[in-house]
Amino acid sequence: MHEEEKQIKKRILELADKSYRNSQYLFTSFLTPAEYSEAVETLTKEHYHNYDSYGGTEMAERVILRFGSPEEFGYMEEFPVSCIIIEPNLAKFADRLTHRDFLGSVLNLGIERNVIGDIFIRDNTGYLICLTRMADYIAENLTKIKHTYVKCKVTQEMPEALKPVLEEHILSVSSERCDIVAAKLYQISRSEVLELFRGKKVCINSRVEESNSKNLKEGDIVSVRGYGKFSYQGVQSVNKKDKLRVAVSKYI
């Protein structure tokens, strides 16, 4: 096990234990899908189940963990997550800004990566999810991305632009295996999908999935890095050749 993984697991267990002992909500920083998988595995082994996760939006890949619950503590504490809306001052003359542009400019402020969640781009406007304690600092100091001057607005409410838009698909497949469904939906070869699994680029319900033969269950959320995300809706029918007609909702 790498030293970084050991530190993450140690930190997760420390937070879980402290939350339980002090009857206090505690939160992690933003976790990558791989870190989230390790955290869940660690907590499961220790029989700790009193936690949940949130990344600001249904589409989020990076999430934070919250330890504790209203049933245990008698009150609720919201996730310390904010959204910064970043838009060009003069849209007409703005550069075409990419995810890398937004992320690089924020990190250049001296911000740690785990303070920042996902970054979404809609019509050249960035929506940056971050820990609330850093939101004002980022908004006040982020004034330029590439050659484009920008203005920032902090909000606790997730903007309408971040609500998922779903595209419904009916696929004809031989089984409910994740690799078969993903290959069909994204129109790529099974060998290409296999490489994605080997590269730990496929997540099911926010957890890295390394088994390409895993069968999907209704309600599973699958994320394939570089291709997108979809919700599996289950088998709709079976034809005479035993082909399955399955429904998926693709995030667009």
Domain locations in the chain?
3-73, 81-162, 166-251
pTM: 0.84
* The predicted structure's pLDDT at residue 120: 93
Compute the average pLDDT of residues 142-148: 97
* The predicted structure's pLDDT at residue 241: 80
Note whether 3-73 and 166-251 share their fold: no
| Burial class of 210 by CB neighbour count within 10 A (0 to 12, 13 to 18, 19+) | exposed
- Kindly report, residue by residue over 42-81, the tens digit of the pLDDT: 999 999 989 999 999 988 999 999 999 999 999 999 999 9
Topology given in CATH for the domain delimited by 3-73: Ribosomal Protein S8; Chain: A, domain 1 (3.30.1370)
* The predicted structure's pLDDT at residue 4: 78
Return mean pLDDT, the chain.
Answer: 94
Compute the average pLDDT of residues 177-188: 97
* The predicted structure's pLDDT at residue 252: 83
Rounded to a whole number, what is the distance in angstroms from the first to the last CA of the chain?
37
CA separation for the pair 250, 231 (Å, rounded): 6
Domain 166-251 sits in CATH at 3.10.290.10
What's at 203, amino acid-wise? C
Give me the DSSP letters along 4-64: HHHHHHHHHHHHHHHHHHHT--EE---B-HHHHHHHHHHHHHTT---EEEE-SSTT-SSBE
Compute the average pLDDT of residues 153-175: 92
Percent helix / strand / coil, the chain, rounded to 5:
35, 35, 35
| Architecture of domain 81-162 in this structure | 2-Layer Sandwich (3.30)
Compute the average pLDDT of residues 164-180: 95
Residues 83-109 as b or e (16 or more Cβ within 10 Å = b): bbbbbbeeeeebeebeeebbbebbeee
